[in-house]
Amino acid sequence: MNKGRLNVFFRWVLVVIWMMVIFHLSSQQANQSNNLSTGLTLKVVEVIEKVTGQTNLNIEDFNHIIRKCAHFSIYLVLALLVLNALINSNKAIRSKVILTMIICILYAASDEFHQIFVSGRGPQVKDIFIDSCGALVGTGIYLVVWKNFKKRTVQRLS
């Protein structure tokens, strides 16, 4: 396998690994998933209390926010990885962006469907929307960084 193909293969392996991480997280039973996010929430609240001095924060409200931010962030990373895997293909950039979004949205939908079979969990259409927004932002971030990198590379070569 030549170096270019190996590079593309490695990029797609990262996508698959990240999808496996997502699958693993959504395979956790409701109480297990809640314990994970509550633990993270308690750490975040502890930091906020130290910074602001405020001590009457509602853990349940923050836990809900942390869970939705996790959805957003996980799919932001998925979009970064997918677009990175597609970036050197011969397709137009618009096609790469559309394909990235299709992959991320379909995976988000399949992930929510998968939760039908997990104890205490269920599909949430709003989570697919949040996941899609994360993917859209991840795609945007990638494009901004990629264009700036490309522009600087061209300037250096000139």
Specify the 3-state DSSP secondary structure of 1: coil
Mean pLDDT confidence for 78-96 = 94
Does the pTM exceed 0.95?
Answer: no
Q: Give alpha helix (H) positions in 28-124.
A: 30-52, 59-86, 93-114
Could you identify the residue written with the tokens 């956790």? 28
**Considering only CA atoms, which of 117, 138, 141, 139 is closest in space to residue 27?**
117
Q: Are 22 and 8 in contact (CB under 8 A)?
A: no
**Considering only CA atoms, which of 18, 156, 158 is closest in space to residue 78?**
18
The 3-state secondary structure of 71-95, one letter per residue: HHHHHHHHHHHHHHHHCCCCCCHHH
* pLDDT per position as a tens digit, 13-62: 999 999 999 999 999 988 888 888 888 888 888 888 888 887 777 888 88
What single DSSP character describes residue 117?
A: G
The whole-angstrom separation of Cα 138 and Cα 122 is 26
At residue 88, the pLDDT reads 86
Distances (CA, A) of 61 to 47, 73, 92: 16, 18, 43
